[in-house]
Amino acid sequence: MARCGMNVPALVIFDCDGTLVDSEELGTSVLVEMAGELGLNLPLRETNALFRGWQLDRCVAQLESWLGRKLPDDFVAQVRLRTRSTFQAKLQPIPGALDLVRALRLPMCVASSGPREKIELSLSLTGLLPYFKDRIYSGYEIGSWKPDPGLFLHAARAMGVEPARCAVVEDSLVGVQAGIAAGMRVFAYQPDEVAPQMPPEVQILRQLEELLPALRQAVS
């Protein structure tokens, strides 16, 4: 069911990592590899589940807590470089993402906690950039990161749409929390298993193509 006050959706706001592009585990694998080089051995699957949707600074702080010391001064810069190389070699769109954005007849944008350069690289490598080229919003540009709702509210204002008329498509718990806090209708892409603590009002998408009929149902 639609959230209270939700009429015809006027805007679809997509997260990027793990929602449009299959980047979450790739990005975490870089952090796990680099942490291992410093003597901190981490399981990829569990670390990826924990870090999903986190901004890099928060991940770095967690690594430092586990390691018991500060990471090298150039750690973040090296993560960015190695992630870029990994993405260029391996990044793919989420199954169904290209078909979805081609078929969607509503205004849409991307709102991601990542830096603009990373968002644009990810979308470019996967063929998605032309659909969002001038409608990309980064948490780094406004100093707001999920689960704070500021980024989604900023995207809605920039697109000229009231929050209650926005639909958010996310994959992470922090992103879902941000969408709910923004007063938007939230869909969670969960292809394997539903994340613990997923709020009951969130509509689960096992496949991205399920979004189109779900949006139509919201206005029927």
Catalytically active residues, by annotation: 15
* C-alpha–C-alpha distance, residues 183 and 175, integer Å: 13
Task: Tell me 166's DSSP state.
Answer: E
Which residues, other chains included, contact 160 with Cβ-Cβ below 8 Å and sequence gap of 6+? none
Give counts: helices (H), strands (E), the chain.
10, 6
Distance of alpha carbon 52 from alpha carbon 199, whole angstroms? 16
Tokens 């078909």 — which residue?
99
How would DSSP label each residue in 84-109? HHHHHHH--BPTTHHHHHHH--S-EE
- Burial class (CB within 10 angstroms; exposed 0-12, middle 13-18, buried 19+) of 31: buried
CB 94 within 8 A of CB 19: yes
